Amino acid sequence: MICSSNSLYVLAKTSLTHQQVIYTNSWALYLSGTPEQINKIAKKHGFHILGKIFPDGNYYHMEQRGVAKQSLQAHYLHNLRLKMDPKVLWFAQQSGRSRNRRHSFTVPTDPFFNQQWYLVHSEAFNQNVVAAWARGYTGKGVVVSILDDGLETSHPDLAENYDPLASYDMNDNDPNPETQYSLTRPRRHGTRCAGVVAAVANNGMCGVGVAHQAKIGGVRMLDGQVTDLIEAMSLNLNQKHIDIYSASWGPEDLGRNLEGPNTLAKEAFIRGISNGRGGLGSIYVWASGNGGASFDNCNCDGYTNSIYTLSVGSTTEKGTLPFYSEPCSAILTTTYSGGSFQHHRIVTTDLHQSCTSDHTGTSASAPLAAGIIALALEANPRLTWRDVQHLVVRASRLADLRTHDWRTNGVGRPVSHYYGYGLLDAGRLVDLASKWKTVKPQKKCTIDLITRSFELRMKLTLRWNVTACHGTRNWIRSLEHIQARLTLTYSRRGDLSITLISPKKTISNLLTTRPYDKTSAGFSDWAFMSTHCWDEDPSGYWVLQIENNGDSNNRGTRISADILKLTKNNYPLFIECIYPLYGFENSCLMSCPPHYYVSNGNSTRSYQRCLPCHRNCLTCFGKQDTNCLDCPPYSTLDSRRSTCSPPVYPWDHKGKVTNGMDRTAAVLGILIGGPLVILFVMWAIAWMVSRSFLPRGAARNQVDISTSHSNDESRDVEMVVFSITESQAENSESTSTFTNIPNTSRET
C-alpha cells in the first residue's frame, strides 16, 4: 500500500455501487449575468427556467422539456453543448438517488394517550417529556419541517398546527406538499413523522405530539427522483422561518453503500448552519439508519455522520437494541421507538385522517428528538446549532439502556456506539437550555497523519503526538467533533475495521466490518466522524488502527489520511473546487462568507479558496492588516492605507480613559511613594550611624554567625536537571530523565 500526503485537498467521492442511475430532465446551472442574459442562454439551449436554487446565488434550476423525464443515460448532446458554451460556468444533469424511508410497514390502529408509553412519566420508560410540559414548554413559537414524501395537511390532528410557510412540493415544484394516495405504495411516512412532533393536544383525536403547540410543515421531496438539487432546496427551504428540519431517510441501508451529500446539498448544509434562524443556524435532526440487520454502519452515511446534523439512534420500551439499529461513533443521542412485534411502538397520525400505534424504526426516533429540541428552543430561542448539540450531550443519560459497548470517555460521560450519550431527557434539556450561555466561536486544528508509504496486510497501527495547535490562535483545549479523513483502495472494503483512540483512552469505532460490502472501491477522502471525545482535551498521543478482518490475501494499494479536530469553528477542511467555485473548508461555495477573502482571485483554474482575513478587518482582499475593505464596528477605515483604526467605543474614548488613569496613578504614586522614600532615607542614616560606633570584634562576630547560618542552609539544597527527549518515529515513546545532584558547596 502506498500512502499519499495530499489527501487533505481531495474532493470526496461517493459510491453508487449496486445502484442504477436514473437521469432526469432537470439541470442545475451556474450562470453569471443579468436576467436578460440568463434568459438568452436558456433559450439558446432550449431550457425552461424554473427559478434560482438559492435565492441569493447564481445557481439556476432549468428543465429540458424535450427530454424524457427518466433515462438510463445522460443526454450527450445537451451536456456537450453546455460544456462548449463559455457562458455556462458549471452544470449538472440531475440524476435520481436512492433514498429509503427508515421505517417498517405497520397497520393502523385506534390509539389513545395512555398508549404513548414513551411520554407518560414512569420509572421504567421515561423521556421526561411530561416534566417539560409541566414547566410550560409545548413548542410554542417553534417551526419544524418534515423532509419526506408529503403531508396530509387536512388531517384533524395536524391541521391546527400546519404551517404552509414551512412546506413545499419539491417533486412537482408547487407550494402544496399534499401526499399522493396510492393503494400499492402508500406515502404515509411524512404524515406519521409529523404527528410524532406536533399532533394537536386535547382534541379527541389520536395521541399528543411531543411539541403539540409547535408549527409543523412538510416538504414532499422523496416521492419521485431525489436529485442533488431537490435535496439542497429542501434543506434550505425558508431557512429564516423554519427552525428544525427533521429527516428520516438516507442512502439504502444494505450494508454495502458509501454515500453522502453531493455538491449542492453540501453547500445547503453550510448555508443552513451559517444563515438559518437569523444566523443562529438551522437544526438538522437525522435518523441514524435501519441497517442493523445488514450489519451496516452509519459512518458510511454522509448525512448521518456530518458535523452539521444531529444523529439519533433508537431503543425499545425495554431498553434493548432494536434489530434494525446500526452503530457508529457519530450518533449523539437516543429516543424510544419500536422493536420486534412483541414491543410497543409509537403512536401517531396516519393517512385518511386516521391514527396508528405502529410507527417504528429510527424514522420514529428522529421526529421524537426534533419535538424535544423544539421544547428547548421555546425555552431559549437564542440557542445556536452548536449550543443544541452541547445541550443534547449533557441532557442524555444512561437510563436503563442495555448494550455491550458502554464506555466512560475522558471526561467521565458514558457513551455508546448504538446510543450515543444515552436517552434524551426532555425535562433536563429545557432546564439546561433556559440558563445556557452561548458557546464561544469554534476553532479548528488539522493534523496530517500519514506522510510516507505504508502497506496494509492484516493490521496497521499509527501513533502520533498531538499538540492541538498549541501556541496558535487555533489552540484547542476542548473537543466537539473529530473527523478522520481517509483515502484507501482495498481488495474487499467490507473486511476493514477502523478504530481511533484518544489520549484519554476513549475508543471510537469509526468503521466496523460489513460482510455485504464486497467492493474494492475503498474510500476516497471519506470523513469518518466521532462525537465520543466531546469536551476532552485533545493534546497527547492518538492511535489510529486499520485492520483487515477477512482473508489474509486482501491487499491495499493506496492510503492517505489526515485528522481534523473541531471544537470552535463552523467549518472543517479546505478542499479543491472546480472553477468558478471556491473551496471553503469541506465544501464548494459560489462566494466567500464574511471575514474571508478569495485566494488566486484572478485565476480561472482550480484551487481558488476562501482564506481568513486579518483579525482587524471585517472584509478584505488579503491576509495582511493593510488589506482591509471594511472594518468591524467602532473602527474606522483608512481608505489610503486600507487599514482599520483601533476601536473607539461610543460610551467613552479610549484616550480619555487612559489619560484619566495616568493622572490617578500619578497622584497615588506621590501619596504612597513619598512617605516610603522618607522612611527609607531615615533607616539608611540610622544604620550608618550604628556601624560607625560598633566595636570591631562585635562586627566580626556578626559576620561569622551569618556565614555559618548560610552554610547550614546550603547543605539541604539540591540541583535538579530535567531533560525531555521526543522521537517522532513510529511507535516511539517520549522519555523523561530526572537527575538529582547533591550541592557540593565548600565550607570555610
Active site residues: 148, 189, 363
The CA-CA-CA angle for residues 632, 633, 637, to 5°, reads 60
Alpha-carbon gap, residue 361 to 345, rounded angstroms? 9
Contact in structure between 317 and 119 (CB atoms under 8 Å): no
166: DSSP letter: G
All residues at 6 or more sequence positions from 333 whose CB lies less than 8 Å from its CB, including other chains: 310, 312, 313, 369, 392, 393, 396, 419, 420, 421, 422, 423, 424
Contact in structure between 39 and 108 (CB atoms under 8 Å): no
Residue 330: all three cell numbers together? 457519530
Pairing of strands 244-247, 249-250: unpaired
Q: Within its chain, how far is the Cα of 287 from the centroid? A: 15
Alpha-carbon gap, residue 176 to 254, rounded angstroms? 33
The CA-CA-CA angle for residues 630, 635, 636, to 5°, reads 65
Alpha-carbon gap, residue 160 to 91, rounded angstroms? 42
- Least Cα distance to 216 among 177, 176, 161 occurs for 161
All residues at 6 or more sequence positions from 685 whose CB lies less than 8 Å from its CB, including other chains: none
**H-helix segments, 137-203:** 189-198
Alpha-carbon gap, residue 142 to 356, rounded angstroms? 25
Contact in structure between 597 and 611 (CB atoms under 8 Å): yes
Name the strand (E) or helix (H) holding 146.
Answer: strand 143-148
Q: What are phi and psi of 459, to 5 degrees?
A: -155, 135
- Least Cα distance to 247 among 151, 164, 365, 347 occurs for 365
Alpha-carbon gap, residue 710 to 699, rounded angstroms? 17
Contacts 24+ apart (CB under 8 A), 319-322: 319/399, 319/400, 319/401, 319/402, 320/402, 321/292, 321/402, 321/403, 321/418, 322/292, 322/360, 322/361
Residue 606: all three cell numbers together? 482550480
Angle between helices 426-434 and 362-379 (to 10 degrees): 30
**H-helix segments, 327-440:** 362-379, 385-395, 426-434
